[in-house]
Structure 1
Amino acid sequence: MSRQHSLLINITAALFIFVVAIPLASAAVIYTWVDDKGVVHYSEQPPKGVNATKIYSEDIEPAKAGYIAPKKREQVQKQSELEKSAAIINATDKEQAKELCESAKHSLSVLKSYNRLTRKNEKTGEMEQMTAEQKTQAINENEQRVKLFCK
């Protein structure tokens, strides 16, 4: 065996021992005890005159990072006025429900196809451009109407 090969084996063995020994050297002993008032104490030094329990740090599982998200409560869904009226219309007047369905589909198609849309202002009677928020709200309303009337 060459001298270089022997040196390489010795260095590898030393590194292995070093890597294995580091976690053992960093393991700490923690003492825990309960005082007269029932309070739990933790310390690196054992208390005098008290029977303390040894806890080794490598035996303690670290706490998970983050937080536990609260569980979503099951909500009893209340029927909105639109849902109530849609149920009545669907039950009594199929033709009107079909017309409302087609109207909602058409409006949804227009809202999704064009960027710059105008509509009549109810107060002034003038035409004005829809804002992004108004367009999003109109899309949501028409999607809900499609769900309710297009069955």
Structure 2
Amino acid sequence: MKFSYIVKLAGIALVGVALSQQGFAKDKVYTWTDSKGVVHYGERPPKDVKATLVQTRTGHSDPTPAQIAATQPKPASTPPAEDPRVAQAAALKDPARCAAAKENLTILNTVARIRATNEQGVVVPLSEEDKAQQRIATQKVIDQTCE
């Protein structure tokens, strides 16, 4: 029973200390120069000398327009006009897909028994006719995606 009371008391004290720390960050700081040219800083401004309020910073900085403008993407320059068929062919070139298709063709040509899942979800071996169709389809993919 005493232990739980101590834990509650410690928790309340910890919350109190945490909340009081925010007050320290918001204190005002003044700066002024005395008659000898020495710069002073303090929490209260002197009565006989003009003091200026120092803008204190927390760990947070507000974004400036220059930073925002620097992060915005620049508009792309207009690409030169080219033949639509050439552009479409270039878009189809994919090295990863090309490598996968070449690997699939190698497997189709070297492995004797290949199994595939049919429309009903059953795994069945591919017939020689199915392998031939797969070879043709894979070769088309290679022709389209490889350079």
Output the TM-score relative to the length of structure 2. Answer: 0.38
Output the TM-score relative to the length of structure 1. Answer: 0.37
